[in-house]
């Protein structure tokens, strides 16, 4: 009997485990290629465990630390957390420390740390973002991270793969965020629990890297360990431009005859802009369902919704427009390099001229840190990945999720609005 082929995740795990082949359900110990932590769940959580065990780091060159949650410090407590992070990386000789440069899931690939075939762990639930680069990257907690830092290894149960194939051209005003909100509604939160989702189809092939990152990032909302996309020339070009080494991406592709747990197909050409109502990304539907709902705040930020491609989407809507009276539009670019690029190509000027308030790069209001949080009963439309009750501020506040296109359009009208009318010649208010 001829053996079936292997999926991409099976190939990555087999290489990291030092074996010829793995199958779903196997429990194996794997060598970790890279470990990423941030200031919130990183040094301050793992250091007490390292001290208790009397151990140091197995390889400082394979550790990346990024400060993004408590930046910039807004009080003595956050300043102390950042100070502790800086002292920790210096004490352990961690050279790859990106301090106040942006959100970890954007900065990590932006600085060339990822390449196809890597086995990577991250100290954050949105670590599946790395899957956009053909890596098996998943989130772990502080106890597991301490184990990785000491041994350079971790265990994993080999997951099944769920294929999510998209074909057709996305209509104007529709993007990867809309694709993901639609998937959250169709599959449900946890619809791919503890499995790997792998995106494919000609729609995904046509997406730029930053849009692919949105798909992989929000695989976490489906409960998936990782959101994989096989590497191609788009991947290679991005990694090289970031100063990284793409290696041999052809070696890291799944076999055509590999068995998958399920396969779902979607037609991108029929997709409308999506909006997720409070308090779950799974409460998503066409923008028309919520159109006209007044909003106090529009927020363009987070790893999911404030990359350069995202800011350009917002600028396409806001060009020549003004934010509505009584509505505030907050803008927190995903990284300092994003801010610089947006300033150089005119995107930032368009956003600020329309009335956007520029904020520092970092997790910020997305996770309820620093400036931009909501007070009682306020309504916000946001480009972030999550809208759980109380996540962005007061428990009585309401957060709707949408694409940067829809957030920008809603900022102009002061109510949830279909962005497509702003993208037609001569349209707008």
* DSSP conformation letters of 267-334: EGGGPPPEEEPTT-TTSEEEGGGTTT-B-SEEEE-HHHH-SHHHHHHHHHHHTT--PPTT-EEEE--S
The answer to whether the beta carbons of residues 364 and 74 sit under 8 Å apart is no
In 3D, which of 133, 278, 316 has the Cα closest to residue 217? 133
Strand partners, 247: none
Nearest-angstrom CA–CA distance, 375 and 373: 7
The answer to whether the beta carbons of residues 268 and 354 sit under 8 Å apart is no
The answer to whether the beta carbons of residues 226 and 136 sit under 8 Å apart is yes
For the chain, domain boundaries:
8-266, 273-422
Topology alike, domains 8-266 and 273-422: yes
* φ, ψ (nearest 5 deg) of residue 158: -60, 120
The answer to whether the beta carbons of residues 63 and 184 sit under 8 Å apart is no
Radius of gyration of the chain (CA): 21
- pLDDT (0 to 100) of residue 425: 56
- pLDDT (0 to 100) of residue 2: 55
DSSP assignment of 78-97, as one string?
HHHHHHHHHHHHHHHT--EE
Match 């292997």 to its residue by tokens.
6
- pLDDT (0 to 100) of residue 390: 86
Strands (DSSP E) contained in 93-216 are: 96-99, 119-122, 136-139, 153-157, 161-167, 196-200
CATH class label, 273-422: alpha beta
The answer to whether the beta carbons of residues 2 and 257 sit under 8 Å apart is no
- pLDDT (0 to 100) of residue 280: 95
Q: Is the pTM of this model over 0.85?
A: yes
CATH architecture of 8-266: 2-Layer Sandwich (3.30)
- pLDDT (0 to 100) of residue 428: 46
All residue ranges of the chain with pLDDT < 70 are 1-3, 425-429
- pLDDT (0 to 100) of residue 429: 45
- pLDDT (0 to 100) of residue 370: 79
- pLDDT (0 to 100) of residue 121: 98
The token duo for 283 is 């409460």
Task: Collapse the DSSP code of 346 into the 3-class scheme (helix H, G, I; strand E, B; otherwise coil) and give the result.
Answer: coil
- pLDDT (0 to 100) of residue 367: 82
Match 């694709």 to its residue by tokens.
179
Residue-wise pLDDT tens digits, 135-191: 999 999 999 999 999 999 999 999 999 999 999 999 999 999 999 999 999 999 988
Please list, in sequence order, all residues whose beta carbon lies within 8 angstroms of the beta carbon of residue 235, skipping any fewer than 6 positions away.
116, 132, 133, 134, 209, 229, 246, 249
């Amino acid at each position: 009997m001829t053996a079936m082929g292997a999926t991409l995740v099976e190939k990555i795990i087999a290489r990291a485990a030092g074996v010829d082949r793995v199958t779903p359900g196997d429990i194996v110990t794997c060598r970790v290629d890279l470990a990423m932590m941030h200031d919130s769940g990183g040094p301050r959580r793992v250091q007490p465990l390292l001290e208790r065990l009397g151990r140091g780091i197995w390889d400082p060159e394979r550790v990346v630390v990024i400060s993004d949650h408590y930046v910039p410090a807004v009080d003595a407590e956050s300043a102390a957390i950042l100070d502790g992070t800086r002292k920790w990386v210096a004490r352990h000789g961690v050279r790859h420390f990106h301090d106040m440069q942006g959100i970890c899931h954007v900065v990590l690939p932006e600085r060339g740390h990822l390449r196809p075939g890597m086995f990577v762990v991250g100290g954050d639930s949105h670590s599946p973002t790395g899957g956009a680069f053909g890596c098996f990257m998943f989130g772990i907690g502080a106890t597991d991270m301490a184990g990785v830092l000491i041994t350079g290894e971790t265990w994993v149960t080999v997951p099944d793969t769920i294929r999510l194939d998209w074909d057709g051209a996305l209509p104007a005003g529709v993007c990867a965020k809309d694709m993901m909100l639609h998937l959250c509604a169709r599959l449900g939160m946890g619809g791919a629990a503890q499995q790997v989702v792998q995106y494919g189809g000609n729609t995904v092939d046509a997406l730029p890297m930053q849009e692919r990152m949105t798909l992989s990032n929000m695989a976490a909302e489906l409960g998936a360990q990782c959101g994989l996309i096989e590497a191609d020339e788009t991947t290679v070009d991005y990694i090289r431009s970031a100063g990284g080494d793409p290696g041999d991406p052809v070696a890291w592709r799944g076999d055509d005859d590999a068995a998958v747990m399920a396969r779902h197909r979607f037609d991108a050409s029929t997709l409308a802009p999506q909006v997720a109502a409070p308090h779950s990304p799974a409460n998503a539907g066409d923008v028309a369902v919520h159109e006209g709902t007044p909003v106090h705040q529009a927020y363009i930020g987070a790893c999911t919704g404030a990359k350069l491609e995202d800011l350009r989407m917002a600028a396409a809507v806001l060009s020549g427009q003004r934010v509505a009276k009584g509505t505030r539009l907050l803008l927190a670019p995903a990284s300092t390099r994003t801010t610089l690029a947006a300033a150089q190509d005119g995107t930032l000027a368009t956003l600020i001229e329309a009335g956007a308030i520029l904020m520092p790069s970092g997790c910020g209001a997305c996770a309820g840190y620093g400036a931009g949080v909501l007070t009682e009963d306020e309504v916000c439309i946001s480009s972030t990945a999550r809208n759980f009750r109380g996540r962005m501020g007061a428990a009585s506040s309401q957060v709707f999720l949408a694409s940067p296109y829809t957030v920008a359009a809603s900022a102009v009208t002061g109510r949830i609005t279909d962005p497509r009318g702003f993208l037609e010649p001569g349209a707008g208010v």
